[in-house]
Amino acid sequence: MNLNIDKDFLTGLPEDTFENGKGNYEMVVAHETAVDDDSIERNKGVFGNNGWQDMSAYPHFFVDHTGIWQCASLDYQAWGAGQPANSMAVHVELCRRSNEDEFEQSMKYYTQLIAWLLNRRNLKFKHLGTFYTHQDVSENLGGTNHQDPVAYLKSHGVSVSDLIDQVKASMDSKDVSVKHSASKSNHHSDNNNGGAKMVKLPASADTWKTYKLNVQPVSKNSDWSLTPARYDGLEYKILDEPYNNVVTIDTSKGKRNIYVAPDTNAEIVNGNVLSNNSKSGNAGKLKIVGVSNAAIVMDSPNRNNSNNLGTASLGSTLPLNGSVKGKNSSSGYWEVKYDGQLGYITGKYGKQV
Ligand SMILES: [Zn+2]
């Protein structure tokens, strides 16, 4: 299953780092929005255009039956459950759905997102340690009095221990991959593609911590850093992905792990992309535009229900077959030849050339 995260931050948010530092959240708090038949779209309307200031609240994520919206950076605190929780926590809001199928779909996104958030920081699951419901925060940490999402989940026959079981199962599964669909993101991570992959470390990074393979890839365990800026960026073949957002590369000091989470601006690309560049498809070529670094190439024209084949860098071209309407994209999709198969790229990220 793919988690397609629409990363589109609210503007003007405060930038207060977590108590353990930038990006170093220690726990996830599960919420629900308390609005019947709610949706990401409605919340974009309410929280956008500085609506978050009027609400005096915002989480990091909203989840509904169509997917996931990341509205705030994981580098910084959100206003989800008062202090002390906010200084430690990522906040995930679940939109209410009365339809049972839609509820179940939203729960998949919700639990897999929570699992991914814990795994990417190598946080072990611990109820009242690394995982809280908002009710748990009210009862154990204070600073807030909300009781969500307990009653809402119960109305669908789901208990907190069911929620916990689903999150744990997702954490153990290697089946979850994450892609970021909005133009602000360039990261691509995928566990199930056997093709050669490269990781590009941007020239904007002065240093990039590396980790010996036998230590946990957390800052204090780093004994040596790469220096991407000195080489106008660095590129390595990915040898392994031992943890979510951690890849193994071969360096001048031997095999090392590096952290390549979405917020780091590391770019993961399919090493076979370039070999396609000189060929043309039935409709000429597609040039990648409108993204900061790369566009996601999917195996079907439906951004909410497809597998990632890889990425295509900004400015690169692919053999173009034509355009299709597909699903869940107002700009449709381009059909391209990619790595020996058909691939689909969101309409606004390509231009026929
Ligand atoms: Zn809440």
Cα(249) to centroid(ligand 1), Å: 40
Domains of the chain, residue spans: 2-175, 197-267, 273-352
pLDDT of residue 174: 58
What DSSP designation does 191 have?
S
Amino acid at 202: P
User: In the chain, what percentage of residues exceed pLDDT 70?
Assistant: 89
Considering the four listed CATH numbers 1.10.287, 2.60.40, 2.30.30, 2.30.29, the one that applies to the domain covering 197-267 is 2.30.30
273-352 CATH: 2.30.30.40
Backbone angles phi, psi at 304, to 5 degrees: -95, -10
* Residues, beta carbon < 5 Å, ion ligand 1: 31, 134, 146, 148
Digit-coded pLDDT (tens) for 53-94 = 988 999 999 999 999 999 999 999 999 999 999 999 999 999
Cα(92) to centroid(ligand 1), Å: 9
Residues 6+ apart with CB under 8 A from 44: 8, 69, 71
Which residue in this structure is represented by tokens 């990915």?
Answer: 238
2-175 matches 197-267 in fold: no
Q: Could you tell me the sign of the dihedral formed by the alpha carbons of 320, 326, 329, 330, in that order?
A: positive
2-175 CATH: 3.40.80.10
Digit-coded pLDDT (tens) for 14-40 = 999 999 999 999 999 999 999 999 999
Cα(82) to centroid(ligand 1), Å: 10
Q: Using CA atoms, how far apart are residues 180 and 6, in angstroms rounded to an integer?
A: 6
Cα(58) to centroid(ligand 1), Å: 10
User: In the chain, what percentage of residues exceed pLDDT 90?
Assistant: 53
Q: What is the largest CA-CA distance in the chain?
A: 62
